[in-house]
Amino acid sequence: MSFDLSVIPNKNIVLAVTGGIAAYKSAILVRRLKDAGFNIRVVMTHGAQAFVTPLTFQALSGNPVHTELLNPEAEAGMGHIELARWADLLLVAPASCDTLAKFANGLADDLLSTLYLATKSPVWVAPAMNQQMWAAKATQRNLNTLVEDGVHVIMPDAGSQACGDIGLGRMPAPEDLARQVTEYFHKAQRAIAEKFGMLAGKHVVITAGPTREAIDPVRYISNHSTGKMGFALAAACYAAGAKVTLIAGPVSLDTPNGVRRINVSSAVKMLETSMQMLDEGCDIFIATAAVADYRVAEVAEHKIKKAGDELNVALIKNPDIVATIAQQQKRPFMVGFAAETRNVEEYAAGKLVAKKLDMIACNDVSRPDIGFASDENAMIVFFAEQYQMQKRDLEKASKQEIAQQLVEAIHDALQHEIEPV
């Protein structure tokens, strides 16, 4: 199971292109669906091939195009029954009047109409035709039948048509269709996660990125944290069915799908926001933020002017956010991170105890291939003694994969009934 919601992995779409001028838009649709991570196989009716060549779709989809029902060579590759089973969605775009009529009446005289009868997958049709043909009683009758049969009809847009008419019948833009399809799979994946997800019903709060400690109105102290690990964790927790709040320091990352993001700047503000989350009810607190250990004692009201050869700025200690939350009476399950350059395991195990955490994930940031700005990470996870769980080695992998394994580790620890500390 993958938790990355930014793209839809391992889902198969059979895109059926039928005869109509809108077929050219389907070429772009293949691109957009591929961008979203779908595997695409294209079926073309004979009519469609009068508008666009199969070669176009072969090049764009990266798969041979299916055109014939009774072609032994094609059937030997991936036969129509196999194709029907392969599909997680049969998307017919554009869907001609003729195709709608065939579907509505159960005809099976070509590859597409046979596929329609043979597949168990959801079927979506995006009708595209002349406005008068769309309005024709027979077309509307067929559409009603298809809706009753469980087919999802994507309504055509209104506007000027290739034939010169103005009215309903234009296929929606490929970007719009791709968005609708992606949203459908996200929702389906989400529904499964909510039902069976490892963190279903939990509110997870995650701190991420650096903090920024002002020196004067134009200068600050900060660090190189990019927030990637925290953002990957937010996506993984959401995909595992949790409600997720991400308290983010200044980073330039897009908010993961479904995640509530609260932007903060300083450590003090990050703590204040974290405490508010406790009031809202928080089950799991994950501290990935690289919080500045010190802040400027007195932030200058105006820009500090250049003067002597030396400038001394007094610093005072910032609150430890994760340790403060862990001390609260109604504390969530606490997860900390430790970035070390030496004695990694020893220091991490020490922090687990000192900060009263339930779990800590540590990594060796002296390794140039993992850590802060890298897209990959490798970690060792320790659990508090009362869980009686073995430490886990998470081998070098993408931050998304590491995030998924951390979600599993949290889930497993939560299964252990422990006495409150």
CA distance 99 to 198: 43
344 lies in the binding site for ligand C5P (CB under 6 A): no
Active-site residue identified among 97, 163, 282, 362: 163
CB 380 within 8 A of CB 348: yes
CB 176 within 8 A of CB 255: no
Rg (CA), the chain: 28
* 104/291 with CB nearer ligand C5P: 291
Angle at 164 between CA 161 and CA 167, to 5 degrees: 45
206 lies in the binding site for ligand C5P (CB under 6 A): no
Stretch binding ligand C5P (CB under 6 A), from 41-49, 53-61, 192-200, 286-294:
286-294
Of 323, 389, 378, nearest to 350 (Cα)? Answer: 323
Per-residue contact string for residues 236-275; x = within reach of ligand C5P by CB under 6 A: -------------------------------x--------
CA distance 122 to 172: 19
Q: Could you tell me the smallest distance in angstroms from the CB atom of residue 104 to ligand C5P?
A: 59
Long-range contacts of 216-220 (CB under 8 A, 24+ apart): 216/299, 216/300, 216/301, 216/302, 216/303, 216/304, 217/300, 217/301, 217/302, 217/303, 218/303, 219/303, 219/304
* 74/246 with CB nearer ligand C5P: 246
351 lies in the binding site for ligand C5P (CB under 6 A): yes
Among 87, 125, 232, 338, binds ligand C5P (CB under 6 A): 338
Stretch binding ligand C5P (CB under 6 A), from 15-23, 49-57, 122-130, 285-293:
285-293
Q: Could you tell me the smallest distance in angstroms from the CB atom of residue 292 to ligand C5P?
A: 7
The DSSP symbol for 303 reads P
Alpha helices in 1-64 (DSSP H): 23-35, 46-49, 54-61
321 lies in the binding site for ligand C5P (CB under 6 A): yes
Stretch binding ligand C5P (CB under 6 A), from 62-70, 125-133, 153-161, 320-328:
320-328
Q: Could you tell me the smallest distance in angstroms from the CB atom of residue 213 to ligand C5P?
A: 11
39 lies in the binding site for ligand C5P (CB under 6 A): no
With tokens 């609708």, the residue in question is 180
Among 4, 110, 320, 358, binds ligand C5P (CB under 6 A): 320
State the virtual CA torsion across 340, 345, 351, 357 in degrees, nearest 10: 120
Stretch binding ligand C5P (CB under 6 A), from 26-34, 79-87, 238-246, 288-296:
288-296
How many residues interact with ligand C5P (rule CB under 6 A)? 14
Of 205, 245, 208, nearest to 227 (Cα)? Answer: 208
How many alpha carbons fall within 13 Å on the CB side of residue 280?
Answer: 16
208 lies in the binding site for ligand C5P (CB under 6 A): no
Among 151, 336, 382, 406, binds ligand C5P (CB under 6 A): 336
Active site residue 163: yes
**Can you give the binding site for ligand C5P, defined by CB under 6 A?**
207, 267, 287-289, 291, 318, 320-322, 336-338, 351
Catalytic residues, by residue number, are: 163
